[in-house]
Structure 1
Amino acid sequence: MSSEPEVKPREERSSPGGLIILSVGLVVIWMLLWGQFTWLSLITGVILALGVSIVFYLPAVQMSIRVNPWYTFVFFARLLWDIVRASVGIAWLVMRPTYVPSNAITAVPLRTRSDLIMTWTAEAISIVPGSIVLDVDREDSVLYVHVINVRTLAEVEAFEDEVLRTEKRIALALGTKADIDRVRAGSAASVTIDRGEEQ
């Protein structure tokens, strides 16, 4: 009885265009993290992006092949404004002698299912002082975020709404038509998983 050899499915890989766009995104994020746009940060960012792309496996990311210049400008302008505003706010908290830390960890389900948008949203949140993404549930598109200086459930919900607005700005700038339809359809409910005060 003859048996046919098992045919293994072809491994899904990112297209060259997708890798280029992801590499450019890594370089921009690297320069934003360092807070300076110099030749040194550009060169080290390119080396890092190439190293990550070569050494680590990057799953295929569906690219929309569309960039909306206006919404891209709006996203970066708002990101820079959020960084400046949050930096001033954190500095004020540090100088207040009566400040009592109060932090929260919250789960924010995103509305899109795009790896690219989820990554950009997570990086945009982490770049802004006062919040950082602790974990990502890629399968369900959920970000687990630590945020400081929140004392009420309303403040946590306001932060979650801001995360969803960030996701929407990114989707309008870089997302597919399906992504845009999802973010315009409405926000998903977020669930706060832990919250406590440090005395």
Structure 2
Amino acid sequence: MTGPPGTARDAAGPAASGRGRLRRWRDQAVALGWLVVVWNLLWGDINWANLVGGLLAGGAVLVFFPLPAVSFGGRLRPRALLVFAGHFAAELVSASLHVARIAVQPGYRPRGAIIGVQLRVPTDLNLALTAEAVSLVPGTLILEVDRDSGTLYLHVLDTHRPADLDVARERTRILERRIVRAVGSTAELRRLETDSTERETRP
């Protein structure tokens, strides 16, 4: 014998509300963590003072300037995250040496260019993470983010041939792929692999 139909809904109501509240707290904690990371990157040094200052500044931003809710629907993959971190660190060193060589080379005038790169997973979180990662690489700077089309517009240093622009676009897409593999959802991974397969089979 079963109870009235409304009984199950009433019983599920508090549980669903609790899960929603827990999800909101989790999203706020993730946002606060990223704000602390950005704060320390801006200062260029990680110490207790900057960590506390980042927590206070991030908390103030979340309280007084609440951002639109961006729910994290992916999953953290430690192995892919380590792969991303290793390649990203190597790219930072390589780009830093390249920019340093340009700075000290007598009489050398690098040419810059502005390019647009349409991401394959145009979610708000992926746009933000990819844009932040690209901006941290010396020699590249994000100028604008088109949320509707999922396109990043960036300034690239030292480009002399059309092939250099293609290399810069492909470097950004590789960075996006590593980020999605590290923290993306199953659907985002599937979309990424489908797009890669289509590019390989395209004449």
**TM-score calculated relative to the size of structure 1:** 0.82
Helix, strand or coil: the match of 2:112?
Answer: strand
What is the CA–CA distance in structure 2 between the aligned matches of 1:114 and 1:54, rounded to whole Å?
Answer: 24
Residue matched to 2:175: 166
Within 5 Å, give how 1:149-188 maps onto structure 2: 149-186=158-195
Helix, strand or coil: the match of 1:145?
Answer: strand
1:51 Cα deviation from its structure 2 partner: 2.1
Q: Which among 119, 125, 133 is matched to residue 134 of structure 2?
A: 125
Moved more, 116-125 or 50-59: 50-59
The alignment covers a number of residue pairs equal to: 177
Residue matched to 2:85: 76
1:164 Cα deviation from its structure 2 partner: 0.7
- Higher normalized helix content (fraction of residues): 2
What is the CA–CA distance in structure 2 between the aligned matches of 1:166 and 1:140, rounded to whole Å?
Answer: 18
Q: Which among 12, 15, 37 is matched to residue 28 of structure 1?
A: 37
What one-letter code is carried by the residue in structure 1 that aligns with 2:102? Answer: L
Moved more, 38-47 or 122-131: 38-47
What one-letter code is carried by the residue in structure 2 that aligns with 1:21? Answer: V
What is the CA–CA distance in structure 2 between the aligned matches of 1:179 and 1:33, rounded to whole Å?
Answer: 30
Question: C-alpha deviations, 1:6-40, integer Å up to 9, x for none?
Answer: xxxxxxx9822112112212222332343322112
Residue matched to 2:5: none
Tell me if the contact between 1:64 and 1:174 (Cα under 8 Å) persists in the aligned partners: no
Residue matched to 2:108: 99
Structure 1 residues 166 and 128: alpha-carbon distance in aligned structure 2, compared to 1, 3 A threshold: same
Question: C-alpha deviations, 1:77-124, integer Å up to 9, x for none?
Answer: 222222121111111101111311200101110010221111010000
Structure 1 residues 120 and 109: alpha-carbon distance in aligned structure 2, compared to 1, 3 A threshold: same
Question: C-alpha deviations, 1:117-172, integer Å up to 9, x for none?
Answer: 11010000001110010111112111110110011111111111111111111111
Moved more, 122-131 or 43-52: 43-52
What is the CA–CA distance in structure 2 between the aligned matches of 1:151 and 1:159, rounded to whole Å?
Answer: 12
Is structure 2 residue 80 aligned with structure 1 residue 56?
no
Question: C-alpha deviations, 1:155-199, integer Å up to 9, x for none?
Answer: 11111111111111111111111211122223599xxxxxxxxxx
Tell me if the contact between 1:114 and 1:179 (Cα under 8 Å) persists in the aligned partners: no
**TM-score calculated relative to the size of structure 2:** 0.80
What is the CA–CA distance in structure 2 between the aligned matches of 1:165 and 1:182, rounded to whole Å?
Answer: 14
RMSD (Å), alpha carbons: 2.0
What is the CA–CA distance in structure 2 between the aligned matches of 1:103 and 1:70, rounded to whole Å?
Answer: 35
Structure of greater relative contact order (alpha carbons < 8 Å, 6+ residues apart): 1
Is structure 2 residue 153 aligned with structure 1 residue 144?
yes
What is the CA–CA distance in structure 2 between the aligned matches of 1:58 and 1:178, rounded to whole Å?
Answer: 25
Residue matched to 2:118: 109
